[in-house]
Amino acid sequence: MNKADLVNKIADGCDISKTQATTAIDTAVDSITTALKKGDRVALIGFGTFSVSQRRARNGRNPQTGATIKIAARKVAKFTPGAELKKAVNRSK
């Protein structure tokens, strides 16, 4: 499913225009991104939790040359699925 498919599902399910559905999705994504930039967690009960995790600096290898390179420390976005989502994914049809 891509963004256009999601917009169509939301527009049909909520009986709103595709423009309104697109605005709703964009606002939700922007809100989550802003919270993560500040270092906050975003918990959607039943769906999952978005958070920021810190990765330490480490040594890596260039696969073409085999040379050792330094990979800098950085922050990464992390998603942990909630119990309801785990159950839904593992439930057979």
For the chain, state the CA radius of gyration.
Answer: 19
| Mean per-residue pLDDT, 22-45 | 96
Cα separations (Å) of 2 from 8, 9, 26?
A: 10, 11, 13
Give the pLDDT of residue 93.
63
Q: Residue 58, by phi and psi: left (phi above 0), alpha (psi -120 to 50) or beta?
A: beta
Instruction: List pLDDT tens digits, range 40-91.
Output: 999 999 999 999 999 999 999 999 999 999 999 999 999 999 999 999 999 8
Give the chain's mean pLDDT.
95
CATH assignment of 41-93, among 2.60.40.180, 3.40.50.2300, 3.40.50.300, 4.10.520.10: 4.10.520.10
> What is the pTM for the complete model shown?
0.80
Which has the closest alpha carbon to 57: 43, 68, 65?
Answer: 68
Instruction: List pLDDT tens digits, range 57-66.
Output: 999 999 999 9
Which has the closest alpha carbon to 48: 88, 76, 12, 14?
Answer: 88
SS3 at position 91? coil
